[in-house]
DNA sequence: CCTGGCACTCCGCTGGCTGGAGTGCCAGTG
DNA sequence: CACTGGCACTCCAGCCAGCGGAGTGCCAGG
């Protein structure tokens, strides 16, 4: 049904439309891309493409515009991923290398991604669920007040304050700290509950309540913080969307404020490969005319979290995909080093 | 020059303009507010107010619109701060009480403020400079790799990883940890440098390099993190600005992305009282038609940081100021408790 | 199967017109 | 002297008609 030339025409339409933001006509196509056929022929092909639902015209006798389905075909079969230039790569590395801690890494990453793609960038903090524990620290703030600090292998730090049922001695605390760390250091979050469950038994009846409190808080932290953190940058780039503004930008800004929505946009975290969601594929009303390019990143083989960008469906997919992939790789490296 | 009735007229103009977003004319004024004079008289007063620069007309034979100077007078002399209703207060308290840690407190605060005022909310993290140290923790990640964790009295946690010049033993580390904490716990950041400067002397020549490295990192953390963190929410509310969009919203979004700008907007941190910056008073081109209402908040008498909202100059000042003040108070309470 | 030609459609822009809202000024009045 | 009603004037916003251009669909011919 769709011979090679028709696909060439579709590719040309997408490219031109992305470049100009205006419906593209047969004549312009014939001129700008050397397709070696006349406008009339192209018109026939366009009619076929429209018939199949890959392109559409805003109104009779206007040029054609790709549909979501058209972009989908373009991304899947007609375009590759455009690698970044060497200077660009070097700039990324230089910029990310300057980070001092995890917050800084994430902050720099999101700004970098926004600047590189001229779109809205979203970065998820390395997930706690798939992280391992580097250290658990216990501090007394007051006789019956304890702070628990949890440090992960990705450098993420979580803290909780709890009220102990009774005053707690320094040596009990030290003992408890040592035992907990002995059990859990290097272990994954998911496995911790099992590992510490019988820890209370080796303490005296007197100490037991305190131990229980601490362990409960530890588990609580592990569970609660699965609520993932995300940051974003580059919202000003939304103004490039078009001139028919408020109606377009409003729901997008609203969606971006909801972290739940953001996380869903990045995709179910199981998939480490690059994912492109186009228009309605996002399953979110306000984001019907935006696309999301996301990919997992991590220090080793497996993805710790995701990052990506959000932009208008009429975006430069090859370039955006290239930037997203490159940034994800470098962040992975940085995290592996620290 | 400005008798009472002229001030009444100005107040009425501001109120009506804020409510309708349209230039207000003499006739409408006479009707909606019972000023007990005829439109013609009001016109005379308006002419005087315009002469003095408090109001202006977009074009001949349109209604009047307040100028920055007009809003300034309104805020300073014509309007009070509108206290929140009891249900509103209760809702604030309820919402903020649910927070589990500092990040959560700040996150909830900023979202709350945005929702309450229907504007863009900005909250600065409790400043490290004026904080005191609650605990310093040292951990070995690898034989020559140390992590320093710094916990402040506001619950903020900072961490740094450093490479030690030589392998470090657990007992040396414990000793060092104890000595550092003995010196600095409860002290203010600014005073720490002085307190630890001769700490190295009590260690052997062999240990000295390691100690020096750790202390350097500690001081580094204190200094570097004076770079304050801010978060914001409610950018979607910018779409209420008007219909002449992209031109208006663009520079605002851009300004909001720069944390340096945000911090300056909140005001030099020395001033704990409520500050209103109107239009050009912000000294930032892109924010010429926005106003900022900010106030310090803190756990005790002194302000730890600031929070505020940003909106169009044509905002409901009394209401906004009331909301900002109320939220600041409750956040202060929450921080004092933890 | 491709191409050039032709008639047709429809958008977007321009220019002129009109109604309405609001002003400034002036003369009159308590 | 301050306020009021009346009046002429200004200017914007919205509407409508006309026009040019870009693009299409279709058809007959190579």
B258 interfaces chain A, CB cutoff of 8 Å: no
Average of per-residue pLDDT across A278-288: 94
Average of per-residue pLDDT across B149-162: 83
Asked if the Cβ–Cβ distance from A245 to B250 is below 8 Å, we say no
pLDDT of residue B221: 84
Q: Give the CA A292 to C1' D21 distance in Å.
A: 37
pLDDT of residue B100: 80
User: HEC profile for chain A?
Assistant: CCCHHHHHHHHHHHHHHHHHCCCECHHHHHHHCCCCCCHHHHHHHHHHHHHHCCEECCCCCCCEEECHHHHHHHHHHHCCCCCCCHHHHHHHHHHHHCCCCHHHHHHHHHHHHHHHHCCEEEEECCCCCCCEEEEEEEEEEECCEEEEEEEECCCCEEEEEEECCCCCCHHHHHHHHHHHHHHHCCCEHHHHHHHHCCHHHHCCCCCHHHHHHHHHHHHHHHHHCCCCCEEEECHHHHHHCCCCHHHHHHHHHHHHHCHHHHHHHHCCCCCCCCEEEEHHHHCCHHHCCEEEEEEEECCCCCCCEEEEEEEECCCCHHHHHHHHHHHHHHHHHHHHHC
Average of per-residue pLDDT across B86-97: 95
pLDDT of residue B45: 96
Confidence of residue B142 (pLDDT cuts 50, 70, 90): confident
pLDDT of residue B207: 87
Closest Cα of chain B to A284: distance in Å? Answer: 16
Topology agreement, domain B4-78 and domain B133-222 = no
Mean pLDDT score of chain B = 89
Q: Give the CA A244 to C1' D15 distance in Å.
A: 22
pLDDT of residue A332: 92
Task: In whole angstroms, give the CA distance from residue A135 to residue A158.
Answer: 11
pLDDT of residue A225: 62
A159 touches strand C (CB under 7 A): no
CA dihedral over B117, B118, B119, B125, signed as positive or negative: positive
pLDDT by residue (tens digit) across B26-53?
999 999 998 889 999 999 999 999 999 9
Confidence of residue A6 (pLDDT cuts 50, 70, 90): very high
Confidence of residue B250 (pLDDT cuts 50, 70, 90): confident
The better pLDDT of the pair A127, B136 is held by B136
Domain boundaries, chain A: 4-78, 86-127+228-337, 133-222
Task: In whole angstroms, give the CA distance from residue B276 to residue B313.
Answer: 10
Task: In whole angstroms, give the CA distance from residue A199 to residue A313.
Answer: 54
Evaluate if residue A224 carries a pLDDT over 90.
no
pLDDT of residue A119: 96
Q: Which of A160, A245, A252 has the highest number of chain B CBs within 10 A, making it the mutation to test binding with B?
A: A245
pLDDT by residue (tens digit) across A75-117?
999 999 999 999 999 999 999 998 888 888 999 999 999 999 9
Question: For A253, which of B135, B157, B235 is closest by C-beta distance?
Answer: B235
pLDDT of residue B248: 78
The better pLDDT of the pair A338, B12 is held by B12
Q: Which CATH class is domain A133-222?
A: alpha beta
Average of per-residue pLDDT across B113-136: 89
Closest Cα of chain A to B278: distance in Å? Answer: 22
The better pLDDT of the pair A204, A328 is held by A328
B47 touches strand C (CB under 7 A): yes
**Which fold, B86-127+228-337?**
Beta-Lactamase (3.30.450)
Contacts of A233 in chain B (CB under 8 A): 257
Average of per-residue pLDDT across A198-218: 87
CA dihedral over A312, A315, A319, A321, signed as positive or negative: positive
pLDDT of residue B287: 94
The better pLDDT of the pair B143, B30 is held by B30
Q: Which CATH class is domain B4-78?
A: mainly alpha
Please report, rounded to a whole number, the percentage of residues in chain A having pLDDT higher than 70: 94
pLDDT of residue A262: 93
Confidence of residue B188 (pLDDT cuts 50, 70, 90): confident
What is the CB-side half-sphere exposure of residue A41 using CA atoms within 13 A?
9
């Amino acid at each position: 049904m769709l011979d090679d030339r028709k696909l060439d025409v579709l590719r040309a339409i997408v490219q031109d439309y992305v470049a100009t933001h205006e419906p593209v006509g047969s004549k312009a196509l014939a001129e700008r891309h050397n397709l070696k056929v006349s406008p009339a022929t192209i018109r026939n092909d366009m009619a076929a493409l429209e018939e199949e639902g890959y392109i559409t015209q805003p109104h009779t006798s206007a040029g054609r515009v790709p549909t979501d389905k058209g972009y989908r075909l373009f991304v899947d079969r007609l375009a590759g991923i455009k690698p970044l230039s060497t200077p660009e790569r070097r700039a990324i590395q230089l910029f990310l290398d300057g980070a001092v801690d995890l917050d800084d890494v994430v902050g720099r990453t999101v700004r970098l991604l926004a600047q590189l793609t001229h779109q809205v960038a979203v970065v998820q903090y390395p997930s706690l669920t798939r992280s391992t524990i580097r250290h658990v620290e216990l501090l007394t703030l007051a006789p019956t007040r304890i702070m628990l600090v949890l440090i992960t292998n990705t450098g993420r730090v979580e803290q909780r304050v709890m009220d102990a049922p009774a005053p707690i001695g320094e040596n009990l605390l030290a003992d408890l700290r040592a035992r907990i760390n002995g059990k859990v250091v290097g272990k994954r979050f998911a496995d911790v509950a099992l590992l510490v469950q019988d820890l209370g038994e080796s303490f005296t009846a007197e100490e037991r309540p305190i131990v229980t409190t601490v362990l409960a808080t530890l588990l609580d932290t592990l569970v609660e913080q699965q609520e993932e953190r995300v940051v974003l940058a580059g919202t000003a780039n939304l103004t490039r969307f078009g001139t028919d503004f408020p109606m377009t930008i409003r729901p997008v800004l609203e969606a971006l404020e909801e972290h739940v929505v953001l996380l869903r946009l990045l995709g179910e975290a199981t998939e480490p490969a690059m994912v492109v969601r186009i228009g309605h594929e996002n399953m979110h009303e306000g984001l019907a005319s935006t696309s999301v390019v996301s990919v997992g990143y991590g220090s080793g083989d497996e993805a710790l979290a995701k990052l990506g960008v959000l932009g208008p469906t009429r975006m430069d997919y090859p370039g955006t995909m290239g930037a997203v992939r490159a940034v994800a790789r470098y962040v992975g490296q940085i995290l592996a080093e620290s």
